[in-house]
């Protein structure tokens, strides 16, 4: 019994000694008042500016960088999600650009007696160009799917498809659309097309094969129609001039064209007959005076 009591006393004394020797250590409480900032209201303009100026070494006040980012965003949308709309509107607008240059040339050389710019004529050119946009869009995508590799053979085949099928189709769309909006009859449209098609198609062969080689060889599919539209803006200067001022069916009687008579030869013969009659009249008058 004494042994048990002795053991309990030893344990109690050890516990008291341990409790007295251990002290409670209190760590200082951490505060973050230094790191806090006053609340700030963020406006929508700040959010947009932060979104488009966030990056390494960029500042929110860099306006030029913001413009570059916005331009890149719009460019990717135009030639990505809205590529079809870009091709259609680009075809119409650049057709108008070519027509404006042609009207300016006509005005400065005295070929136009009306106003400097004809708004109705510009609208007709826009519609004719916009109608060619879907044709370019789908045909160029189809050619790149069928012939994806940029070999010389594929490039030549694409140029031949463009010249033998696309070019006549675009010329037909151009003339029939504008003549319809000018309220001309089909017979008048046929006569104008027959008289002007050889000149335009020959000019087409002189210009487009070289331009389309650059297009099919170096550019991506999404830029093909845009490149064609830029070249067409220069090409349409002559197209617009030939459509509105070359005017074979307006300068000469349409009946001469129907009968197969050459209008220029007819005009020359008429002038020659008139000149001969004038000379005969002068000679007769001088004899009567003598």
Give residue 98's domain range: 83-266
The residue with greater pLDDT, 63 or 207, is 207
DSSP 102-122: HHHHHHHTT---S-SS-HHHH
The pTM score is: 0.60
64 in a structural domain = no
Is 217 within a domain? yes
pLDDT digits (tens, 9 = 90+) for 167-179: 999 999 999 999 9
Share of the chain above pLDDT 70, in %: 60
More confident residue, 66 or 242: 66
For residue 38, tell me if it sits in a domain: no
**Is residue 41 situated within a structural domain?**
no
- Name the phi and psi angles at 55, rounded to 5: 165, 180
- Residue 50 within any structural domain of the chain: no
Which pair of tokens denotes residue 289? 């005076």
Q: Domain total for the chain?
A: 1
Write down the mean pLDDT value for the chain: 75
User: What confidence category does residue 71 fall into, taking pLDDT thresholds of 50, 70 and 90?
Assistant: confident
User: Does residue 75 sit within a domain?
Assistant: no
Is 261 inside any structural domain?
Answer: yes
Buried b (16+ CB within 10 A) or exposed e, 177-212: bbbeeeebeeeebebbbebbeeebeeebeeebeebb
Mean pLDDT of 194-207: 88
How much is the average pLDDT of 141-150? 93
| Better-scored residue on pLDDT, 31 or 250 | 31
d(CA 16, CA 159): 104
Q: Is the pLDDT of residue 166 over 90?
A: yes
Tell me whether residue 186 is in a domain.
Answer: yes
pLDDT tens digits along 211-263? 999 999 999 888 999 999 888 888 877 776 676 654 444 443 433 333 344 44
Question: Six-digit token pair at 147?
Answer: 């012939």
Of the candidates 203, 194, 137, 135, the one whose C-alpha atom is nearest the C-alpha of residue 169 is 135
Q: Predicted confidence band at 40 (pLDDT cuts at 50, 70, 90)?
A: low
């Amino acid at each position: 019994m004494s042994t048990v009591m002795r053991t309990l006393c030893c344990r109690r004394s050890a516990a008291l000694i341990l409790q007295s020797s251990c002290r409670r250590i209190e760590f200082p409480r951490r505060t973050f008042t230094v790191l806090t900032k006053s609340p700030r209201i963020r406006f929508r303009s700040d959010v947009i500016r932060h979104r488009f100026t966030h990056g390494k070494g960029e500042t929110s006040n860099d306006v030029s960088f913001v413009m570059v980012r916005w331009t890149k965003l719009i460019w990717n949308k135009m030639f990505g999600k809205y590529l079809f709309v870009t091709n259609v509107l680009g075809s119409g607008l650049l057709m108008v650009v070519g027509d404006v240059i042609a009207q300016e040339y006509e005005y400065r050389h005295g070929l136009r007696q009306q106003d400097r710019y004809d708004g109705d004529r510009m609208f007709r050119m826009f519609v004719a160009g916009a109608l060619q946009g879907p044709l370019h869009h789908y045909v160029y995508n189809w050619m790149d799917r069928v012939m994806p590799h940029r070999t010389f053979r594929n490039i030549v085949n694409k140029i031949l498809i463009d010249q033998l099928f696309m070019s006549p189709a675009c010329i037909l769309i151009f003339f029939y659309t504008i003549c319809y909006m000018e309220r001309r009859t089909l017979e008048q449209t046929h006569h104008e097309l027959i008289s002007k098609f050889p000149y335009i198609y020959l000019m087409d062969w002189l210009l487009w094969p070289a331009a389309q080689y650059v297009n099919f060889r170096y550019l991506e599919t999404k830029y093909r129609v845009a490149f064609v539209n830029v070249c067409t803006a220069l090409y349409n200067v002559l197209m617009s001039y030939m459509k509105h001022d070359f005017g074979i069916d307006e300068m000469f009687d349409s009946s001469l064209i129907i009968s197969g008579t050459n209008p220029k030869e007819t005009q020359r013969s008429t002038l020659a007959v008139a000149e001969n009659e004038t000379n005969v009249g002068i000679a007769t008058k001088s004899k009567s005076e003598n």
